[in-house]
Amino acid sequence: MTQKLRWHDYITINIFWFALTSRSQVLTPLILPVLVQRFVGETVKGTYIGQIRLWALMVALLMQALMGLLSDRNTSRWGRRRPFIAVGTVLEVLVLVGIAAVARLEGMTGYWVLFGLYILSMISSNTAHAATQGLIPDLVPQDQRGRFSGVKALLELPAPLIFASFVVAGMVAAGNISGALAALIAVMVVCALVTMAAREVPLATTPTRFDWKPLVRLAAMTAAFTLVILGMGAVSRAVMHNIAGLEGLAATSLMVIAGIVGMAIAVGAGVWLSISIGLGEEARAHRSFTWWVMNRLSFMVASTSLAGFMLYFLQERFVEFPGELAAAPAARVMLFVGVFILLTALPSGWLADLVGKRLLVVVSALLAAGGTFLILIVPTMPAMYIGGSLIGAAMGIYYSASWALGTEIVPRSQAGHFLGISNLAGAGAGAIGAYIGGPIADAHGYVVLFTIYGAMFMLSILALAGIKEKVLQVVPLQVEPAVEAANPSL
């Protein structure tokens, strides 16, 4: 921070966020669903997507924490962060080449090879992601971090969505998986090379002895959360088996109820176990924090999973978009979501201080639910774009207001510890929504699944009743909502 920053430092310090989000926007909503559908067939594609998402997200969570700790202690003459970004990029390029090769396989062999490569992608991308997170805190003075974060948000959200929508989606729709991955590889390599020009200096002090306790605690939390999700997934499958003889509205209604209850229990039990492990006896003194994490997880189960299953939903709803042809409209819908996140995130931070944070959290949940039910009721592409815009606006409002609410709840002296625990719940969102929801969609369709997600938006409001704001414990942190919304590493 003693160096004078120049105009191009805005690019070198932030450009790799474009690569990370481009990776997530290409792999998760486009290439992964297309390949899984190709390998396992139409009838069980949701189930197998859920399996990949569950285990990949848990690995991503652990790897990001581990690599963050290791990069903090790195004494390389090339700096603390850049070696991890370089190694992560090289490994990710190899994984992407492997995925291009896997696209030529068939059947369950192709699926399991893809499963392994996707897990490796989480390891490599989070090696780079954990290090990239440290560049602004390491290199930018406090009084300039706002403008650097603004550039970061621009490169991290709208730019990758435009890239995925207008460059990659057409290739995937045409069946050119290799071309789409080649474009993504080019982005990863170019962004990594530009990042290497960031002016890091070697760590001057000798690191203290490595403390494994935080990582062991995180592993225990992750294991407990995973067991809860696996358990509720088994319960949902049992319900489906028992109502297999029913048809029509009765079967659909029971499955919607079972899905909502299963996801709600996974949210509640998962958060309670995670916070109990992470905070121990101290958890009793911070009940508002527990309810806040439940609120966030309920909302994010829906918002994250809508994007992950959008391609399959479009295939089911519009006969003109079979197979890979759904990739292009899916990317366009997500572009509307991303643009409206960007438009509403920053104004919502100011509005939250003016009218109250909990009120905006309620408004965002209602708006997101409304957008979801709109795309369910009106089966047209214009309605999809309008619904996506409403959901995007809701997400922008939510991420600003919810995080501001959380920073008032957590104790000032332990803000990092508490907010770090809340990240576990964020990673669990995709796992709960996909692992429990995938089999439901296979059996009853994606309209049923999206109905459950709309209800989860509404259910998130109930958790607000347990939150008591503590204004005297405001934590002066600056977190960009668009970053979390993009979720690049997951």
Encoded amino acid at 4, one letter: K
The model's pLDDT over 389-438, given as tens digits with 9 standing for 90+, comes to 999 999 988 888 887 788 777 776 565 557 666 777 667 888 999 999 99
Please give the pLDDT value at position 404: 76
CA–CA distance, 483 with 24 (Å, rounded to integer): 13
Are 1-210 and 212-490 in the same CATH fold?
A: yes
Four-residue CA torsion sign, 461, 428, 333, 106: negative
Q: Is 371 left (phi over 0), alpha (psi -120 to 50) or beta?
A: alpha
Of 7-16, 106-115, 151-160, 470-479, the range with the lowest mean pLDDT is 470-479
Q: What is the mean pLDDT of the chain?
A: 86
CA–CA distance, 112 with 304 (Å, rounded to integer): 24
220 pLDDT higher than 60: yes
486 versus 281: which is more confidently predicted? 281
- The pTM for the full model equals 0.85
CA–CA distance, 438 with 102 (Å, rounded to integer): 23
Q: Which fold has domain 212-490?
A: Growth Hormone; Chain: A; (1.20.1250)
CA–CA distance, 366 with 370 (Å, rounded to integer): 6
CATH of 1-210, one of 1.20.1250.20, 2.30.110.10, 3.40.50.2000, 3.40.50.920: 1.20.1250.20
List the domain boundaries for the chain.
1-210, 212-490
The model's pLDDT over 49-99, given as tens digits with 9 standing for 90+, comes to 999 999 999 998 888 888 888 888 888 888 889 999 999 999 999 999 999
Q: Residue 154 is encoded by which pair of tokens?
A: 């621009």
Tokens 């070696």 -> residue: 83
478 pLDDT higher than 60: no
Please give the pLDDT value at position 94: 98
